[in-house]
Amino acid sequence: MKILITAGPTYEPIDPVRFIGNRSSGKMGIAIAEEFAKAGHEVVLVIGPTEAHPTVPTIHQIRVQTAAEMFEACAQYFPQSDVIVFAAAVADYTPKYPSSNKIKKKEGEFLMELIKTKDIAAELGKQKQAHQIIVGFALETDHELSHAQEKLQQKNMDFIVLNSLRDKGAGFGGDTNKITIIDKDGNVTKFDLKAKTEVAKDIVQYVNKTLKRN
């Protein structure tokens, strides 16, 4: 199969030295990419700015910086992909007027106008074909289940991987994760805290189960 995966953060430039970003390491998306690649699938990994990198040489990496660049890369590979995993932590907003020069420090408040970035999963979800499986991720801090279910429906996904910053060992940066998978039929499957490499195996197995069911 042809697999498209996003991973890592995006950096939205404020000026040449500052940006809006987040703490995503890209490790979860990379682990999923490696699991698919080891199974012999053709994997394209669109990855934001992070020091992490896959070790499986057959993975085709596309390095990007911004949400706009990530969308362009995904839009190119989406139509021919059988499975799409949106694991990246894409910035929701980007500066409307990024400065070409370093912004000097000023007294008092500094106000910056932001505009919404393109929602990659939602936009490409509108183009979903019958044979495609779309997997999303939701990192939440409150009302986790309801927020994840809403995201699942709005973005035309087959299932969504939820993790909560309330769970110790889950979230950005670390080598472990604790997930709950919710599918479009309302089924909820909870998993224990595991290494991200093991979590990746659970997600790939769930993809395979979804393919068989469809």
Active site residues: 22
Residue type, 163: N
Torsion of CA 196, 192, 174, 170, to 10 degrees: 120
> How far is the first Cα of the chain from the last one, in angstroms, to the nearest whole number?
15
| Nearest-angstrom CA–CA distance, 154 and 147 | 11
Q: What residue spans of the chain are helical by DSSP H? A: 27-38, 67-77, 120-125, 144-154, 196-213
Comparing CA positions, the residue from 173, 175, 171, 153 lying closest to residue 162 is 171
d(CA 100, CA 98): 7
DSSP H helical ranges for 9-66: 27-38
Q: Can you read off the two tokens belonging to residue 210?
A: 């979804």
DSSP state of 89: B
- Alpha-carbon span 100 to 126, nearest angstrom: 35
Distance in angstroms (rounded) separating the CA atoms of residues 130 and 60: 25
